[in-house]
Amino acid sequence: MSERRYTQTVRRELSRLVELAATRESESRLREISSLVNRWKKGSTASSDALIEISRLSGSSPVIWSDGADPGVPVAHAVAVGFLDRKDISDSAWKAIEILITLAGI
């Protein structure tokens, strides 16, 4: 498979977007964990159930940019799952990864 080519400007933006998406995902996970702890404190969920969910939420992020991997893939995934919006992405970067965004949404 041929390697996708990005301009330096788009590549830098994709890097910034991966960081933004990772931050948003972390914040979302922390809110969910906080909610689980609050439900446990109120007695509406068992400690074992809360711990299982907290363990799941503490796992690895799918928003990862591996060296050598296509940097558009984690950005497209972040758009598909809602951690990034169209307004977060420049027109040039959007056009460069639009097909990846479409595929991530399938």
User: According to the model, what pLDDT value does residue 1 have?
Assistant: 42
User: According to the model, what pLDDT value does residue 16 have?
Assistant: 95
> What pLDDT digit, counting tens, does each position of 2-11 carry?
456 899 999 9
d(CA 8, CA 15): 11
Pull the structure tokens for residue 95.
Answer: 């056009």
> What pLDDT digit, counting tens, does each position of 16-44 carry?
999 999 899 999 999 999 999 999 999 99
What is the radius of gyration, based on Cα positions, of the chain? 17
Q: Give residue 18's identity as a one-letter amino acid code.
A: V
> What pLDDT digit, counting tens, does each position of 28-85 carry?
999 999 999 999 999 999 999 999 998 888 877 655 556 567 889 999 999 999 999 9
Whether the CB-CB separation of 101 and 18 falls below 8 Å is answered with: no
